[in-house]
Amino acid sequence: MNKKIDHIGIAVKDLQKGIENYEKILGLKCSGTEEVSEQKVRIAMIPIQDTKIELLEPMQDDSPVAKFIENKGEGFHHIAIQVENIEEELERLKDAGIRLIDEKYRIGAHGAKIAFIHPKSMGGLLVELVQRD
């Protein structure tokens, strides 16, 4: 099965300031921003070769990303792995007794199918599965 790193998610308090950091300090270029209202975040995508950095800014205090920043501060949030068939992957993980945040995929930024694996199953690492059609 073909897998690759789809993107790396970074939690920020201020999206605009975050974009500026990546553009000024690292010389990268933001390719666009988007609101994902279901997850109460605004995101910015910053391509870097064949992967992306995804900046996540909470839109509300009860956003999971707001809680993350409150507990752990800004910075590394999750790694997203691209899969070919997310439903098959989720079935495989469920059968293996892996704890999932999302038993079924939902629709994330750019209409991609996404699901999160619980960090308790991954040594504290939050992993997002992404299927792009």
Contact window for Zn ion (CB under 5 A) among 17-25, 45-53, 78-86, 98-106: 78-86
Strands 127-131 and 113-117: antiparallel
Q: Is 58 in the site for Zn ion (CB under 5 A)?
A: no
CB of 11 to Zn ion, least distance (A): 11
Contacts of 82 (CB under 8 A, 6+ apart): 3, 4, 5, 6, 130, 131, 132
The residue with its CB nearest to Zn ion is 9
Interface residue with Zn ion among 8, 86, 128, 131 (CB under 5 A) is: 128
**What Cα–Cα distance (Å) separates residue 37 from each residue in 23, 41, 42, 83?**
25, 6, 8, 24
CB of 48 to Zn ion, least distance (A): 14
Binding site for Zn ion (CB under 5 A): 9, 54, 80, 128
